[in-house]
Amino acid sequence: MRISFHTQHSWPTLPLLLAVLWLLSGCASLATPAPPLMPTAIPTLAPLTSTSTLAIEPAAPPASTPAPLPTWTAVPTPTADGVFVDPAVRLGPISPYIFGSNYGPWVALRPETLPLAEQLGITLLRWPGGAWGDQNDITLLQVDQFVALARRLGAEPYIHVRFLDSTPEQAAALVRYANRDKGYHVRFWSIGNEPSIYEPAGDDWNAADFAAAWRDFAEAMKAIDPSIQLLGPEVHQFNGTPEVDPQDSAGRDWLRTFLATNGDLVDIVTVHRYPFPNNAARTSAKPVELLAESAQWNDLVRNLRQVVRVETGRDLPVGITEFNSHWSNAAGGETTPDSFLSALWLGDVLARLVQERVDVANQFILASSSGSGHGIFESYGPRPAYQVYRLYREFGSQQVAASSSNPAVTAIAAQRDDGALTVMLINRSAAEVALPLYIAKYELGKEADVLRFDREHQAEPVATLKLDASTAITLPAESMTLLVAR
């Protein structure tokens, strides 16, 4: 995402200095933060199959005639008139890294919002998100501060190195500092930000030249630490439609050109997506447009996987490392990124990323800059998107089969590590919806806690529900409901 900020070149701001000093002082938070996900040694991950996720072990280049690949069937076909859940049909682990966000030197978590961020459950923090990283050199002090913040939040740090006006040697030096000198074990790295907008912005990089140069950067960085995972190419506005996907001035598709050159070297194939504004007037989406748009994300992910298969002859992990409802900085509107409806859109998009077993996803952005609608947090408190991540923090880690016969209601389900069954139900309709809930082969008579996020409830418990052979459930208009059955 390329956005101009008046404060991008002044690091650090006074609020950020206060936040960092508070962070390093070890002040008590409102809740004990989740432990860091990164172990002291970086594990080797299993190869990707049709039933695994985040398999990012390097693979050999594809054969000239690749073997047939498995069929992805991520979303179960509805089998009942209502919501149907079958805990016995396990669909594989849910990648923890889809609950990520972005962060950058031009924004700050203040002492008022840092304790809330610790409770949020953000699992992957991309930095420095946006165009800042291609316009500025990262300092070693900034790396130290960022890694300290990410670990404080219980998130994996993810660094994108500067590409414009930089060199492979400079990128490799950052890897050396972070992982050899400091022992941070930063696992996720990318090179540049949205190269597909370099050329239109006046930077002389076409798709073919960037792909070749990216390879030089990647090889230099992996020579320092072969265990790092490289994400790319992070092109902007991908949706899998060739006639509208980013192309360079010669008509070359940016993603396909990149994969043809680097499909053997990239570990996770990543793109960006902001669906609105989608008109010349740059107006915000209408409510009905916004809430209908999230349904397209299943196809977006499948299109991305298909491009990867065609160009590389194999499956690779995929991700969306910048996304939000709007790319503009608009704020205060009915559907702008700081609104309740945008938060509901976000909750439904995350449900579809769970369905499609996406490996990494990073909402844009954790904290707001001055006057921007982006940001889970504004200067002194949370925005509605905060409640979405609070609900998902209670969700399970192993996806099980779930479906809804109502097209306005999205249903996903999972088993938690403590054995609880969780069911997320998202009603995008402007009307209340009543549905029967069927849970196959489940012990009858159990009770489920009901947690809700809507215009009246802030991701909070609202009731208990007794689970019978067919349980009636009412979903308020424009709401997220989480059932937790122990």
The torsion of the CA quartet 80, 81, 86, 89, rounded to 10 degrees, works out to 50
Q: Do residues 31 and 173 both lie within one domain?
A: yes
- CA–CA distance, 447 with 425 (Å, rounded to integer): 17
Band of pLDDT at residue 55, cut at 50, 70 and 90: very low
Report, in this order, helix, strand and coil percent for the chain, each rounded to 5. Answer: 25, 25, 50
Q: Do residues 149 and 105 both lie within one domain?
A: yes
Q: Do residues 209 and 345 both lie within one domain?
A: yes
In this predicted structure, what is the pLDDT of residue 71? 57
Q: Do residues 339 and 470 both lie within one domain?
A: no
In this predicted structure, what is the pLDDT of residue 42? 27
The secondary structure of 352-368 as a DSSP string is: HHHHTT-SEEEES-SBP
Tally the domains of the chain: 2
CATH of the domain at 413: 2.60.40.1180
The secondary structure of 36-49 as a DSSP string is: PS--SSPPPPPPP-
pLDDT in tens, 382-427: 999 999 999 999 999 999 999 999 999 999 999 999 999 999 999 9
In a domain, 422, yes or no: yes
Provide the percentage of residues in the chain whose pLDDT is more than 90: 77
Higher pLDDT, 141 or 24: 141
Helix (H, G, I), strand (E, B) or coil at 97: helix
Domain boundary among 393, 416, 448: 393
Band of pLDDT at residue 78, cut at 50, 70 and 90: low
- pLDDT above 90 for 37: no
Higher pLDDT, 341 or 1: 341
The torsion of the CA quartet 46, 123, 486, 467, rounded to 10 degrees, works out to -100
Q: Do residues 26 and 150 both lie within one domain?
A: yes
Q: Do residues 132 and 197 both lie within one domain?
A: yes
- pLDDT above 60 for 188: yes
In a domain, 3, yes or no: no
Contact of 271 with 259, CB cutoff 8 Å: no
| Mean pLDDT value of segment 453-461 | 98
In a domain, 71, yes or no: no
In a domain, 1, yes or no: no
- pLDDT above 70 for 212: yes
Q: Do residues 334 and 464 both lie within one domain?
A: no
The CA angle 318-322-326, to the nearest 5 degrees, is 130
Domain boundary among 393, 424, 454: 393
pLDDT in tens, 217-273: 999 999 999 999 999 999 999 998 899 999 999 999 999 999 999 999 999 999 999
pLDDT in tens, 89-123: 999 999 999 999 999 999 999 999 999 999 999 99
- CA–CA distance, 282 with 285 (Å, rounded to integer): 9
The CA angle 22-112-457, to the nearest 5 degrees, is 145
Q: Do residues 370 and 408 both lie within one domain?
A: no
pLDDT in tens, 350-364: 999 999 999 999 999
Q: Do residues 284 and 189 both lie within one domain?
A: yes
Q: Do residues 149 and 31 both lie within one domain?
A: yes
- CA–CA distance, 313 with 91 (Å, rounded to integer): 24
Looking at residue 66, the DSSP 8-state letter turns out to be P
| Mean pLDDT value of segment 54-74 | 45
Q: Which domain covers residue 444, as residue numbers?
A: 83-92+398-485
| Mean pLDDT value of segment 361-371 | 94
In this predicted structure, what is the pLDDT of residue 74? 52
- pLDDT above 90 for 22: no
- pLDDT above 80 for 331: yes
CA neighbor of 435 nearest in space, from 423, 444, 446: 423
Answer positive or negative: Cα dihedral of 205, 210, 213, 218: positive
In a domain, 8, yes or no: no
Residue 118 token pair: 């610790």
- pLDDT above 60 for 6: no
H helical segments located in 109-230: 114-118, 132-135, 140-152, 168-175, 207-224
In this predicted structure, what is the pLDDT of residue 443? 79
pLDDT in tens, 292-320: 999 999 999 999 999 999 999 999 999 99
In a domain, 249, yes or no: yes
| Mean pLDDT value of segment 22-26 | 37
In this predicted structure, what is the pLDDT of residue 75? 56
CATH of the domain at 254: 3.20.20.80
Q: Do residues 428 and 297 both lie within one domain?
A: no
Contact of 423 with 83, CB cutoff 8 Å: yes
In a domain, 251, yes or no: yes
- pLDDT above 60 for 445: yes
Polymer length of the chain: 486
Q: Do residues 378 and 432 both lie within one domain?
A: no
Question: Considering the chain, what is the average pLDDT of its residues?
Answer: 87
In a domain, 72, yes or no: no
Domain boundary among 339, 361, 393: 393
Provide the percentage of residues in the chain whose pLDDT is more than 70: 84
H helical segments located in 153-267: 168-175, 207-224, 254-262
Contact of 380 with 108, CB cutoff 8 Å: no
Helix (H, G, I), strand (E, B) or coil at 101: strand
| Mean pLDDT value of segment 275-304 | 94
